[in-house]
Amino acid sequence: MRSNNRKSIQARPPGWCLAILLALLLFNGCAGKQPWTSQVADEDEAFLIQTFEEMQQRDASCFSSLDAEATLVLAGPGSKRAITGFLQLLLPTSLKFVVLHPLRQPLYALVSDGREFQSINTSLKEHNIGKISTLAAQYQIPASLLSDDWGYWLTGRLHEKRATIEAIRRDGSGRGIWLTLQYQGAPNLPRNHLLIQPETKQLLTRILVDHQEETIAPISYAQRRGQEACSPLSRVTISDLPYRSTLTINFTDILTDRSFTTANFRLKVPADFTTQELR
């Protein structure tokens, strides 16, 4: 018989695998040295703006669903932890991550539409539900990170049509050009800094900035699988996290031809699991 008990709970302290999931979804980083230098010459601005617009048009035509095996590695001074599972995305907001134990059986599953979440812990036979904002509040995660754009950030895609370019500057290490974008009316993250490579038309790094002009953390996109315009990423790195930690996400067995719908991002709850609502 299915358990109909629904309890209101305070979130229990997560295990390390859930902690890494939270780092993936809702990290809070530390400010570092600004990597850009001088403004580009006036005569170069028109070309760079046109290049950026072409990159946006290309990305708008790319895949909206991603299915891949993902290994998350959280490394800091004297420590390194990793979990493996599969990640599914439906841009812009739907996410599913299933953690597998060494025998490849599901250990923990999390789905979110950017507003609410479901999770299943198979060892405890628990099904948890609630709002992402409540989860963030209990773990003191800044509200500035509650964004609808996580799908774009994790796939290295541009979605900047509602933004205006504030500044175009050269990279201090010669890697490319930095564009600072202002998002009018954005409730959480009003500004991003993007490092692009104009010759290859690739996004290399995205830096998120909150309303207090504090840097959250840089997201770097170092490797892509293939040379085609819409080739998926094989690695995403989030650096400058608390305690000098770095989160690396390695993607393998990547499929981009799936046609996911929101129905794919709901968990089937076994009959003998207890549902608990996070409040």
- Other Cβ atoms less than 10 A from the Cβ of 6: the count is 12
pLDDT tens for each residue of 116-143: 999 999 999 999 999 988 877 776 666 6
Q: Which amino acid is at 109?
A: A
55, two tokens: 């990159």
Supply the mean pLDDT for the chain.
84
Indicate whether 39 pLDDT > 70.
yes
Q: What is the pLDDT of residue 10?
A: 45
- Rounded CA-CA distance 5/3 in Å is 6
* 54/225: higher pLDDT: 54
In this prediction, what percent of the chain has a pLDDT beyond 90?
A: 54
* 7/240: higher pLDDT: 240
Q: Is 40 exposed, middle or buried (0-12, 13-18, 19+ CB in 10 A)?
A: middle
CB 135 within 8 A of CB 40: no
Q: What is the pLDDT of residue 6?
A: 53
Q: What one-character DSSP code corresponds to residue 152? A: H
Indicate whether 22 pLDDT > 60.
no
* 146/123: higher pLDDT: 123
Q: Which amino acid is at 23?
A: A
Q: Which residues, including other chains, have CB under 8 Å from residue 164's CB and lie 6 or more apart? A: 181, 182, 184
At residue 146, φ and ψ (nearest 5 deg) are: -85, 90
Give the length of the chain.
279
